[in-house]
Structure 1
């Protein structure tokens, strides 16, 4: 539930910050302003109405959030709620909450699930599986607790920072499987460097060298870098590095080794709790 709330309220908070007037330096509204705002607030809807259920759905994620207005949506079966300056759509039964716009997502409030992320996780897992294991550059401890896929670039600062800590990730029990995503695009100098890495006889050594500007720059072999780049685009990559769990869940961006281990532990615990609450199928 905590992750769901953060996902929803994080998006709402970002929207609210973006819309805040830059010239207002008074952190506390005046008594007159507060009174006027209170008097302008919409009346509390009757219990059991779609409007009331919409408010309950939003407050299930954060009891402190203020729902400024609820009205019928243009989309049948949904209410339109204004929360922190952002429009949120809630189904009339209060079960589903939809955040529109860039990165919008559909949430199942009752099941505490981000349905959009669940769908994307399945797709990411499927697409990443199309890259042969032999085409991944792997840095792994002897007996990893977790394995993550990292779409990387030889130029980006955070990609280099992550790789500089590769031994620490391994000590945390995390195996890193690198895939190539030359952020400057196919045919760029960045792309040619990554092709050269994948052509090298020792890819691990070549990748490490390339991330400090000492790697190979020329190659004349056939690689899967183009395929990896295509997969990166299709899984929703917007920047490097991108860290994806074995289940297809995107967890970053760069995360320090201890923070990534903590995140993976929490995801594993959530998965175990979810699995324990799924009713057994008849006859099993």
Structure 2
């Protein structure tokens, strides 16, 4: 899992490998740091500590006094202005009804902007036979168990002997984006490329998710690498990840009726 890999790279043990400055060097650095912005300090410190990790641009976090940095393909870091400590994880709101996952309005708006730029022709679409009530984008991987479960429930399905409506039956249009968890290049990426480069994209994607053998296919213009990069930039670190029209990004599998409720349909 990419998330586990990133967290491993960010672990305390890994960070201990960063060279420790002498007192004189630290005193000199303190003077230099005082003349730099917190954003500049944080960027420099993160890149110095872990040059192999791709960090986004720091900006003020919703938690007062901290700055946030998105790790491409990994967690959001909440960093001190001095760039000497960070917290990796999610923010939750506390209210009278309990706890709820906090979505930063700035991040949500940025996701909406990026969502509007996606060409539907670059996605693999499963559209309701009747009226479409809502469109969601789903970052998917071929070999992910919950991705396969979600795909099996696009249409009506059996659950403990009871027939239930699938996403399409509830008016939800699924537009798939590619996110090979193993990265690029990888066998997972090759399978996704095969699906996107096939004439029957829906049929091939379904066959691959059902673990059927499909001849490999390649084409110059496939969106797999671009989708993978986009997912990492907006905070995807696992699959499936559901991208709602209002900019929310929900990690993990959601049953059809739960997704319809979250969409307000």
- TM-score category (smaller protein): 0.5 to 0.7
Cα distance in 1 for residues equivalent to 2:216 and 2:134: 34
4+ residue runs over 4 A deviation? 106-109, 113-116
The answer to whether the 8 A contact 1:155-1:190 is kept is yes
- Quote how far apart the aligned CAs of 1:225 are: 0.8
The answer to whether the 8 A contact 1:108-1:115 is kept is no
Cα distance in 2 for residues equivalent to 1:213 and 1:134: 25
Cα distance in 2 for residues equivalent to 1:246 and 1:178: 14
Measured on the aligned residues, the alpha-carbon RMSD in Å equals 2.9
Cα distance in 1 for residues equivalent to 2:65 and 2:245: 36
- Quote how far apart the aligned CAs of 1:102 are: 2.0
- Quote how far apart the aligned CAs of 1:220 are: 2.7
Equivalent of 1:204, from 185, 202, 205?
A: 202
The answer to whether the 8 A contact 2:178-2:192 is kept is yes
- Quote how far apart the aligned CAs of 1:201 are: 0.2
- Quote how far apart the aligned CAs of 1:105 are: 3.8
Shifted more, 182-191 versus 139-148: the winner is 139-148
User: What is residue 160 of structure 1 aligned with on the other side?
Assistant: 148
SS at 1:127 equivalent:
helix
Cα distance in 2 for residues equivalent to 1:201 and 1:75: 52
The yes-or-no answer on 1:233 pairing with 2:232 is yes
Provide the aligned length of Structure 1 versus Structure 2: 169
User: What is residue 243 of structure 2 aligned with on the other side?
Assistant: 244
The answer to whether the 8 A contact 1:107-1:116 is kept is no
Name the one with the larger helix percent.
1
Q: Deviations over 1:138-160 (max 9, x none)?
A: 11113111111100000000000
SS at 2:109 equivalent:
helix
Cα gap change, 1:106 to 1:258, in 2 (>3 Å): closer
Cα distance in 2 for residues equivalent to 1:216 and 1:145: 33
**What runs of 5+ residues in structure 1 fail to find an aligned partner?**
1-73, 77-99, 269-284
User: What is residue 135 of structure 1 aligned with on the other side?
Assistant: 122
